[in-house]
Amino acid sequence: MKKTHLIVFLIPLVFSCAERVPERPNILFIMTDDHAYQALSAYDNRLIETPNIDRLATEGMLFKKAFVSNSICSPSRAVALTGKFSHLNSVRDNLDVFDSTQITFPRLLQQNGYQTAVYGKWHLKSSPQGFDDWAVLPGQGHYYDPEFRTKEGIIKEDGYVTELVTDNVIDFLENKRDKDKPFMVMYNHKAPHRQWWPTMEDLDAINGDSLPLPYNLFDDYQSRGTAAQTAEMRISDHMGLSSDNKIRPELVDKLGFEEFLGWYKSSFTNRYNRLSDEQKQAWDSKFGPINEDFEKNTPQGKALTIWKYRRYMEDYLGTIVSVDREVGRVLDYLDANGLADNTIVVYTSDQGFYLGEHGWFDKRFMYEESFRTPLLMRYPKMITPGTISTKLVQNIDFAPTFLALAQINIPAEIQGQSIVPLLNQSTEEWRDALYYHYYEYPGIHQVKRHYGIRTDRFKLIRFYYDVEEWELYDLEADPNEMYNLYGDPDYENIRNELTQRLEELRTQYGDSDELNQQFIESDIARLKERGWL
């Protein structure tokens, strides 16, 4: 056969294969650190507008019932990578080291022809494995002039972390990737993690005075057991005037305030000292007048809590202004380079956060604000724009979803479910309940160990270790979770059903009292070894 004839013969074959096997999508997986859904306008626009992130909802799907399985950083990231609950993936708390010999979705994607990269927050101690390129923050990382861990060692970059992480992502897309392969990039922001340092250009972006106060800012925790009362995350008592609210340590002392933790003042000073002279000037022109005003009108009691809440929100939301702008920059890049159609963009956080609800900041509890997390996905080839899902999805579902999209078999050890049938709306069948388990106690913020179940309407929680306390909430009647119904005779049947379903979930996922006991023993031994107990 002559060459030209062969080509003519092959062309239809190539096209028919292409029709049968859809192209595998690129994956852009954006994860922020501590981004509450209350601070994302696709969910709630009372605090902030996030027009760029919101695009993913108007052009894709917004999940109104997306949850984590252990509301704290390192564990959440380990769950996302492995698709397994904390008791099986080596990371139950922020002290654990990720066992990187496990199966992870980036490694499987890499082995199956994807180019993979991770930039920004990592917080798993062991080095990233299964990535062609990476530059991650050591530990929590810094907002200003941060260091990055790379294959070549530690490098320090000048600039603001949210912008630098984005620069890395765009540099990978533009210069580093092999354009013949699909890519998977984990784009992990440090923001809006404590201690909430916005970029200089956003210091005035939010005016705290105009923000509504949360309904339960002065929660007295009366209807609950001791866990909520003893947690050390109240804005009133446990937030630092210096470290968190940016009052100069000398002024804190001069006015006679005591910080809850001894290191709050040095933590502020150390961060301030990292700024260049020019940055210090910009910083002082914002915070000088705030300090002067605080000295003149020193609020006390409830007025001080409200003042701290508003200060907290100015800085927390201020860091989100830049996250939104930078996410916009990457979405624009995808548009300009013809990548938007064949890239699934996922926006989520490692967990939710309290923005004054129950009087708190931080996370950890199985109550809604920290158990839930934002989740938005855009993939024009599969998702109808502007759709809303109210199915119970969880961070165990990321790994199997990405594998399914890449047409890779899902290993049996993965416990989550692919949500592709929700994305293409091919099923109404879905799970009826979620399992949750938090471990880091004793530890910072002192949130007791607990596990529980959430169905569409109810939540049952067991706090254990140094207490034996149960809580039951009716989320329809009491969305703010103010009334524990565990002892209410009207809810006896529901309580019994949930208790049974919870045991089924523990069995299904391989969790047990025996494991709890083992973990308690090893965790306590570790704390003693370090001299923390």
Residues that bind ligand SGN (CB under 6 A): 33-34, 72-73, 94, 123, 140, 193-195, 243, 267, 362, 444-445
Of ligand SGN, Ca ion, none, which one does residue 326 interact with (CB within 5 to 8 Å by kind)? none
Question: DSSP readout, 281-324?
Answer: HHHHHHHHHHHHHHHHS---HHHHHHHHHHHHHHHHHHHHHHHH
Name which of 49, 39, 305 is nearest 192 in CA terms: 39
Nearer to Ca ion, 199 or 349 (CB): 349
In sequence order, the β-bridge partners of residue 39 are none
Nearer to ligand SGN, 72 or 375 (CB): 72
Of ligand SGN, Ca ion, none, which one does residue 482 interact with (CB within 5 to 8 Å by kind)? none
State which of residues 25, 28, 30, 33 lies at the interface with Ca ion (CB under 5 A): 33
Nearer to ligand SGN, 193 or 506 (CB): 193
CB distance 227 to 346 below 8 Å: no
Q: What is the three-class DSSP state of 463?
A: strand
Distant-in-sequence, close-in-space partners of 522: CB < 8 Å, separation ≥ 6 = none
Largest CA distance in the chain: 94
- The least CB distance from residue 362 to ligand SGN, in Å, is 5
Beta 26-32 vs 183-188: how paired, if at all?
A: parallel
Of ligand SGN, Ca ion, none, which one does residue 96 interact with (CB within 5 to 8 Å by kind)? none
- Which tokens sit at 524? 């306590």
Of Ca ion, ligand SGN, none, which one does residue 362 interact with (CB within 5 to 8 Å by kind)? ligand SGN
Nearer to ligand SGN, 183 or 316 (CB): 316
State which of residues 30, 31, 32, 34 lies at the interface with Ca ion (CB under 5 A): 34
Q: What is the three-class DSSP state of 444?
A: coil
Residue type (1 letter), 103: I
Nearer to Ca ion, 123 or 358 (CB): 123
Of ligand SGN, Ca ion, none, which one does residue 94 interact with (CB within 5 to 8 Å by kind)? ligand SGN
CB atoms within 10 A of CB 111: 11
- Which tokens sit at 259? 């910080």
Pairwise CA distance, residues 249 & 6, whole Å: 79
- The least CB distance from residue 204 to ligand SGN, in Å, is 23
Q: Is the peptide bond before 518 cis (omega within 30 degrees of 0)?
A: no
Of ligand SGN, Ca ion, none, which one does residue 418 interact with (CB within 5 to 8 Å by kind)? none
What residue has token string 């471990």?
Answer: 439
- The least CB distance from residue 48 to ligand SGN, in Å, is 20
- The least CB distance from residue 525 to ligand SGN, in Å, is 22
Nearer to Ca ion, 33 or 397 (CB): 33
Q: Strand ranges (DSSP E) for 68-132?
A: 115-120
Of Ca ion, ligand SGN, none, which one does residue 52 interact with (CB within 5 to 8 Å by kind)? none
CA 509 to chain centre: 22
Region from 25-33, 98-106, 201-209, 371-379 binding Ca ion, contact rule CB under 5 A: 25-33
Of ligand SGN, Ca ion, none, which one does residue 310 interact with (CB within 5 to 8 Å by kind)? none
State which of residues 54, 93, 259, 350 lies at the interface with Ca ion (CB under 5 A): 350
The answer to whether residue 403 forms part of the interface with Ca ion (CB under 5 A) is no
Pairwise CA distance, residues 84 & 413, whole Å: 7
Q: What is the three-class DSSP state of 339?
A: coil
Of ligand SGN, Ca ion, none, which one does residue 523 interact with (CB within 5 to 8 Å by kind)? none
The answer to whether residue 406 forms part of the interface with Ca ion (CB under 5 A) is no
The answer to whether residue 73 forms part of the interface with Ca ion (CB under 5 A) is yes
- The least CB distance from residue 351 to ligand SGN, in Å, is 7
Which backbone phi and psi does 112 adopt, to 5 degrees?
-110, 30
In sequence order, the β-bridge partners of residue 27 are 184, 344
Q: Which residue's CB atom is positioned nearest to ligand SGN?
A: 73
Residues near Ca ion (CB under 5 A): 33-34, 73, 350
